[in-house]
Structure 1
Amino acid sequence: MAEHGTGGDATPLAGQDTDPDEGYLLANRQSEAGVRFSAFAELFDPVTFRHVDRLGIGPGMRCWEVGAGGASVPLGLAERVGPGGAVVATDIDVSWVRDVAGGPIEVLSHDVAADPPPPGAFDLVHARLVLVHVADRAEALRRMVQALRPGGWLLLEDADPKLQPLLCPDESGPEQRLANRLRNGFRTLMAARGADLAYGRTLPRVLREAGLADVQADAYFPMTSPACTLLEDATVRQIRPLLVEKGLATDEEIDQHLANVATGRLDLTTAPMISAWGRRPLT
C-alpha cells in the first residue's frame, strides 16, 4: 500500500476539509505523515534532483516548490540556488516545513488551485505527488505556468497507480495476495476522494497543451527498499480506520498485513512516479 498518496507533497482536494470523511486522505497533520515524508525523500529525492540538475537550476535562481509537504526538496533547492537565490515553499498545511524558513527559503500557507501564485517570476516551478490529489488540476496547472519566467521550467512528478496497481508484483503467496487486496482498498479510498489514479501518464500531454516547449518525461518506481517498508507501515496505520469503516479490510487482516510487512521479506513497490518537464517559451 505504499502508493503515492503524499503527495508526501500533496494538497487536499480543493474546497474541502481534511476531516475523516472529506478531503485529502493522508493529511499532513497526522503523526504518520513525518514517516511518510522521510520515506518519500529517500525514495524519490534522487530522481527529483536528477531532473532539477539536468534543467540547470543553480545559483541566483528562483524556485517555487508547490505542495512542499516535507522539507527535503526545499532544502535541496536552497543548496542549489544559494544565498543569492530564492525558494518559495508552499502548502495548505506547512506543519512539516515551517522550521526550514530562513535564508533563501520562504514558507507560505497556500492553495495552488485557489490562491494567486507567489509574487515574482520563477526559473523553476516543481510539484511532486500533488496534482493527482487536487480537484481543479487544470486551474492549478494554469497558475503554475503563469508563475514561470520566459524560459523557466515546470517540473511535474505524479503517480499513476493504474499503470502498476500492485503492492507486491510477485504475488507468490498468501502474504502477497493480502497485501495486494489491501492496496486495492487504498486505491478505492483515493478514488472516492477525487484522486485521478491515471493522471501521471497524462503529464507530457498536459504540459504541451499548456503551451510549454521541449517537453520530455520518464518514470520510476522502486522495489524492495527499506523505505518502501517504512512507507507502507505508516500509510496503513494512517488509513486503517477508513479501511475498516468502509468494509475494505478487517482489523485482523490489517494486523496480519502489518506483521507481514515487519518481517522485511515482502518485495514491496510503489505506483510509478512519472516526471515530466517543459519550458515556457521565450516569446
Structure 2
Amino acid sequence: MMRTDGHLLDNRQPEAGQRFDALAALFDPTTFRHMERFGIGSGWRCWEVGAGGMSVVSWLAKRVGPTGRVFATDLDTSWAPLAVRPPIQLRVHDVGVDEPPAEGFDLVHARLVLAHVPDRERALRTMTRALRPGGRLLVEDADPTLQPLACPDERGPEQQLANRVRHAMRSLLAEQGAELSYGRRLPRLLREAGLRQVEADACFPLTSPACGALEAATVGQVRDQLVTAGLATDQDIDQHLANVAAGGMDLATAPLISAWGRKV
C-alpha cells in the first residue's frame, strides 16, 4: 500500500533493513563528524527523531554513557531490536503531531525525516522547543532536485534506464507530498526558528557499493507503486535491478544537506 504521510518506504517491508544498512554506510560518517564537533559526551540528553536502523542511536548511546539519555522515536518501532536498554528509550512518536518526548535536550537530530512529514513547520518548532538553551539541532535531508539523476554520467542504455526509474520514484514522492527541495531550505529555516551560529554542508556520494545496495532496496520497495502508477513496467524494473547487480554503473544518491544551529 502507498503511505498517506508522504513516505513511500514502510519500515516493516523486507527491504527496509537493507536500506537502513546502506544509509548508515553512506551517511553515518558525515552525521557523526558533525556531532563530534558539538562536543557530545558523557551525560548528554539526546533525541533521535526517526530512529531508522538504530546505527545513530547506538552511536549516541556509547557517547553519552550510563549517565546520559537517548530518546529514539519513530512512527513505527516494530522493526527495532527487542532488547533496547538504557540509556536508550524507544518510543512511538509523530514529530509533526505530538509534543516532544521530553525537553532540555543537548542535541536533537533528524536525518531523512522532515521532508516526508506533512507538517514540517510544526515538526521543526517542536524539535527546537525541546532544546535546552545552548543545545544543538542537526537536521539532515536530501535534495533530489539539486541532482535528480541516478547516473550523472549517462553514457548508455543502462544509465538511461536508471535515470528513468529515478525520475519515476521522484514523481511518486512528490505525489505523496514529500518536499524534494527541502534540503536547500534548511539553513534559512533554522535561522527563522531562532537558532544561532547556523551552518550547513552537503554529502554527495557518486558511487560506492552502498549506493548500489540503496538503489536495489529502494526500487524493490516501491516497484508495485511504480507499476500501478504506470511509471515503469515490471520488465523495466527487472532489467534495472539486474543492471545494478552487475555493478557496472556509477550510481549516485541525492545530495544530503546537513544544517545545524544552537538555541539561544
Counterpart for residue 4 of structure 1: none
Where does structure 2 lack aligned partners over 5 or more consecutive residues?
none
Counterpart for residue 175 of structure 1: 158
- 177, 181, 194: which one pairs with 1:211? 194
- 46, 59, 77: which one pairs with 1:63? 46
Q: What does the per-residue CA deviation read over 1:40-89, in whole Å, with 9 as the maximum and x for residues that have no partner?
A: 01110000000000111111100000011111000000111111101000
Counterpart for residue 10 of structure 1: none
Counterpart for residue 185 of structure 1: 168
Distance 1:100 1:138, change over 3 A: farther
Counterpart for residue 22 of structure 1: 4
**How far did 1:221 drift?**
1.3
Contact 2:103 2:129 in 1 (8 A): no
Runs (4+) off by over 6 Å: none
Pair 1:161 & 2:139 matched: no
**How far did 1:95 drift?**
2.3
- 72, 85, 88: which one pairs with 1:102? 85
Counterpart for residue 100 of structure 2: 117
Counterpart for residue 221 of structure 1: 204
Residue identity opposite 2:84 in structure 1: A
**How far did 1:99 drift?**
3.2
Contact 1:75 1:100 in 2 (8 A): no
> What percent of counterpart residues are identical?
65
Distance 1:49 1:100, change over 3 A: farther
Which range moves more in the overlay, 23-32 or 40-49?
Answer: 23-32
TM score, norm. by length of structure 1: 0.91
Q: Distance in 1 between matches of 2:120 and 2:249?
A: 35
- 135, 159, 182: which one pairs with 1:152? 135
Q: Distance in 2 between matches of 1:69 and 1:224?
A: 23
Q: Secondary structure in 2 aligned to 1:99?
A: coil
1:210-249 to structure 2, matched below 5 A, reads 210-249=193-232
Residue identity opposite 1:22 in structure 2: T
Contact 1:65 1:87 in 2 (8 A): yes
Counterpart for residue 11 of structure 1: none
**How far did 1:100 drift?**
5.2
Q: What does the per-residue CA deviation read over 1:229-261, in whole Å, with 9 as the maximum and x for residues that have no partner?
A: 111111111100111111111111111101100
- 51, 62, 74: which one pairs with 2:34? 51
- 28, 38, 61: which one pairs with 2:21? 38
Number of aligned pairs?
A: 263
Q: What does the per-residue CA deviation read over 1:14-51, in whole Å, with 9 as the maximum and x for residues that have no partner?
A: xxxxx436332001111110100000011100000000
Where does structure 1 lack aligned partners over 5 or more consecutive residues?
1-18
Distance 1:100 1:64, change over 3 A: farther
Residue identity opposite 1:118 in structure 2: P
TM score, norm. by length of structure 2: 0.98
Q: What does the per-residue CA deviation read over 1:248-279, in whole Å, with 9 as the maximum and x for residues that have no partner?
A: 11111111101100111110010000000000
Aligned-CA RMSD value? 1.0
Q: Distance in 1 between matches of 2:178 and 2:106?
A: 29
